[in-house]
Structure 1
Amino acid sequence: MSDEALEALTSESHGHDHDHRNVPGVYDVNDLEAEGMDLEIAIETQKTGWKINKSSTTVEDPSILKLHLTKPPVRSIDLHFPLGAEVTARNLRGVTIKDALDAIHKFFKKRSDDELDRPYLAGFEWDKEESWTRLVVHLQSQPATSGGFGGGGRKKKRRDSEDDD
């Protein structure tokens, strides 16, 4: 590689935000992929009781908002919805649960409740086969709260007794 090419590469990657890049322990998600380092998602995101068109401060337990969304923490991550929409959560000190919820809320805040089929956050999924650098957002029709997972989800196969001809 020529000196000019190397120079161009190094100056590009250290653009105007060079000084922010080295918050210790906070990674660029692309570097994690290059190093084959797995992401873990904060378990607290699975029981927020949060409605995606409401402010992030309406979660059941606001203390979770300060937690990092992933381990290790990343500067930015794409949040992908099953229907194709995608938002990006960013924080140079590491994306927190609040950053993720705020990014989602910004996208959905103008939607009324009846426009949203599944208005509640069920959680995030990291599927490295699909994409190392993004999380899939799972939504559901009822709020998932830490109050336990009783009932629900049993209506699917009631045919067996009625449909036996």
Structure 2
Amino acid sequence: MNAQAWDMLEAAGAAKIEHPGGTLAAHLGRTSDLLAAWGARPALVSAGLCHAFYGTDGFAVALLGLGRRDELVEAIGAEAEALVYFYASCDRGASYSQLADSEGVFVDRFTGTHLRPGLPARRDFAELTAANELDLATVSPDFHARHGSGLHALFARWRPLLSSAARAHCDNVLGAAPTGP
């Protein structure tokens, strides 16, 4: 695990911020651990640990302002920080339904920019999202009850973007994906 990133999380008070299943710090650690268990490359594992630094469309608390991105780059590297920004920037309502489509639009909620990310970026985003949401569905029965069926449908659409390990974990936590037409 990245000690510098953990120090930044501690300084930002992540261990004191309530989050489904405990604290934000605990959730971030579990998300990172899950990505590592799935065999994700180090940059994606680091992004999992830091994915909430700039807040998200689903969790408004930002631990670090966008004007301080260079500090996160120093802690986890440019590739991992770019993944964190991309994840945090997602306008979920505008982007989730189109993510599996190579011509789909991804909307940056910070800038309003409309992007058409390539397959590697869409795969990373889907993998990080799956790790994030599956952690919550695993540790919070209430979260699972409220969001499990929607996540099941979302990850079924994103199945081509997810690693085999992520797909298996989705099936285990949310139920097997539908097969056939």
Q: Which has the higher strand share?
A: 1
For Structure 1 versus Structure 2, the TM-score category normalised by the shorter chain is: under 0.3
Q: As a proportion of its length, which structure holds more helix?
A: 2
| Higher-Rg member (1/2) | 1
Compare relative contact order (CA 8 Å, sep 6+) and give the higher one, 1 or 2. Answer: 1
